[in-house]
Amino acid sequence: MISCPVCGKNFNVSGEGVFECPACRAEFSVRFLSGVNAWNSRGETGFFRSFIISACRVASEPFVFFNSVKAEISLWPAFLFCFTVFLLAALIRFAAYELSGFIGASLFFGSTARLPEFLFGISASLIAPLKMLLITVLKASVLHLCALLFGGRSSVGATFRVVFYSSVSYFALLLPVAGVLVSLCWEMWLYMEGLHVVHDMPRSRSAWAVMFPALMVMLLLILGLLTFFSLAA
């Protein structure tokens, strides 16, 4: 079964090729790419090889990937994928900033002044994945409520899988200067595609479901500022 990328209608296909949606008559191609389900066979293909293949599929073709995991029941594969993303990102950040700075200061200046900062960096790198997992669970809970508000029909587990696999966007935070903006835009795009697939929602509704929390926060901030200035006047 595949979802139409235009209207979200589900229908069965017999294989790869170009198909016409029976609901909206839109034509689109279907490819069942090798490696899309690599993460579910990580025991046979290797942990890191499966992770790299799956991360590339999520990043480049989320519509195909989320269709491939739509029928999953267990949250464990998605949770493990998410934890691996956060752990690798923390290790890369630690090696790029803390470790390189400490080694440079020790070799070129013979100084151990950065030792406390280095030790703090180690502890922060170990805590970071757990902290990000907690934040991700909270985001998934809010996103599921918003998906239901805008017509979502799937389970909370489906939304959690979307959010867990979309954590691949966290790697963009390693980019200098624009990393936060790139990661945020990438994450929202993956959420939109994921909700569109797993909740059988039109893309317009999945976009509203993703943007709704941010719009509410902005509205509350504006109301708070207006209240503050009105009381201060």
Residues 80 and 21 in one domain: no
19 belongs to a structural domain: yes
Q: Give pLDDT tens digits for 112-136.
A: 555 566 566 666 667 888 889 999 9
Residue 3 falls within a domain, yes or no? Answer: yes
- Angle (CA) 129 190 23, round 5°: 150
Identify whether residues 96 and 178 lie together within a single domain.
yes
Separation of alpha carbons 152 and 210, rounded Å: 12
Residues 114 and 10 in one domain: no
Same domain, 12 and 93: no
Q: What is the pLDDT of residues 19-62, one digit of tens each?
A: 677 788 777 666 544 444 678 888 888 899 899 999 998 998 89
- Secondary structure (DSSP) of 84-153: HHHHHHHHHHIIIIIIHHHHHHHHHH---TTHHHHHHHHHHHHHHHHHHHHHHHHHHHHHHHHHHHTT--
Per-residue pLDDT tens for 159-171? 999 999 999 999 9
My answer on whether 139 and 88 are in the same domain is yes
pLDDT at 34: 41
Number of domains in the chain: 2
- In a domain, residue 156? The reply is yes
Structural domain for 222, as ranges:
74-232
Q: Are residue 26 and residue 81 in the same domain, yes or no? A: no
Residue 152 lies in a domain: yes
End-to-end CA distance of the chain: 61
Task: Identify whether residues 17 and 78 lie together within a single domain.
Answer: no
DSSP string covering 150-201? TT--S-HHHHHHHHHHGGGGGGGGGSTTTHHHHHHHHHHHHHHHHHHHHTT-
**158 assigned to some structural domain:** yes
128 and 28 in a common domain: no
Q: Average model confidence (pLDDT) for the chain?
A: 81
